[in-house]
Structure 1
């Protein structure tokens, strides 16, 4: 803000609000003034912007912030009027780089009736928004801010759960659903994702693995148990996979000790440790958190001792250590020192 403007008030730029709103310094000045402005001053800002400049400023890099402030501090009638200007364009605005912030602010600050109006106009485009790089953030805002009884629109996700779980943006919306939907809506989504015919497919995809990791970190115990059950018998193969290896880590870290011990038994079987130490994802020199190193760091009782002995034995066979083996050696040293 320039020195000249430091003592200005909103009344000093009356007649030039739209012009100032589209300017970096002017927009910041208006936003700051609005935070302490009287209702009369806010009314003056509103009348210069609505209706003629509303859509222009909503999509402007600086002007969108002024509109957001109007949604935050404006009266019910003022926000209703701005929403009326947006309704027919809500899908396009939800997917716009700057306007999407205004839509999200309208959702966060709006009354239930205003939120319902946004959903009504957005509903035919819900799935398009979910798959959009910007639009999916608006759907998450709806999920986080609406009352449970207003979230019925999310029922559309159940039939799409598997595809959403593997989608770069859909997976984020799905996780938001898990966090915010009431159980009667959440349960069918979880069931679809944890279906045995789908789980293995999700293990092996990048964003599908993110979805499963969320369940292992934040899900209910029975949901975590179903993921671990699907890993049993194929833990070594999953630990050697680029994406599934992260699920193996989480299964060791976030599930109960009995399940972790059962998975460790698979690592201890025959040549599993040797195979894992040769694999770039089961053990990776760039990270201390891959599967075998994770196994070394958790509490496993008697199995921990056997695991350490087997790893030490394999390391002794190697006279020349690669970076990957040095990483295992360091993890082992850390365990022994503790």
Structure 2
């Protein structure tokens, strides 16, 4: 469909508008209607030439259609839009570097986290800045014509979103070391380490992590022979703090297959600790009747990444995309 749109935009403005109107009849899907409606809206603005419009729709159109296929977009809240837009930003990163990302340096942080060539980052920033601008324009259109919710755009002209697989095993180990060497209390360290290992190994998103209840954890028990069974699984299902996109999004995460032994041991210890305190949510403190807020998860990662990676910006979604 995007190719047809771009071909249509080679015609006169009136001809292009007629072709887009025909495509609106041919593609009734909600996600297609929004991208086609946006193109028609841009054609009404005589200050934007058709070649530019073709570039705009080529920049985000295909990703939008692919990522929103069969979705009930009308029911989306801000988080759903933000997730899709982050993925579109990520899709623009073409990692053609031949040199390794990591550089061995004398200082510990340099060895663990490394640096990326400035020329690569500058090129990446320009690409993502253009995409960011198109997404803002597209979402403004959706707010005006489809009553879409407000969306927070954390990607500005001075920020870069790095390709997800930059969270390599080496950076993961650096993050664990940073937590272990911090001045946090033991309970807080364990909480942060379990969140980190679960995000890294499973690719779960923040809204999925938030809603995990202690009762969602299975296969950690003492059997009839008085032997400890430690093959933890998480049953992801909707609840008041976790809205899954569809019933098919309910699923079982086999942690025993994903964790390394030390990670599994720590997770089981954390589970038993939360269970003894009779907390409802796995990632909670105090009474445990409410989970930790989403900002805790994102800010925790931001603090670590800022310390290890400096000006290079990562988003929590990077854990999920690399899976």
* TM-score normalised by structure 1 residue count: 0.28
Which structure has the larger Rg over C-alpha atoms? 1
Q: Hey, which of these two has a bigger chunk of helix by percent?
A: 1
Higher RCO, 1 or 2 (CA under 8 Å, sep at least 6)?
Answer: 2
* TM-score normalised by structure 2 residue count: 0.29
Q: Hey, which of these two has a bigger chunk of strand by percent?
A: 2
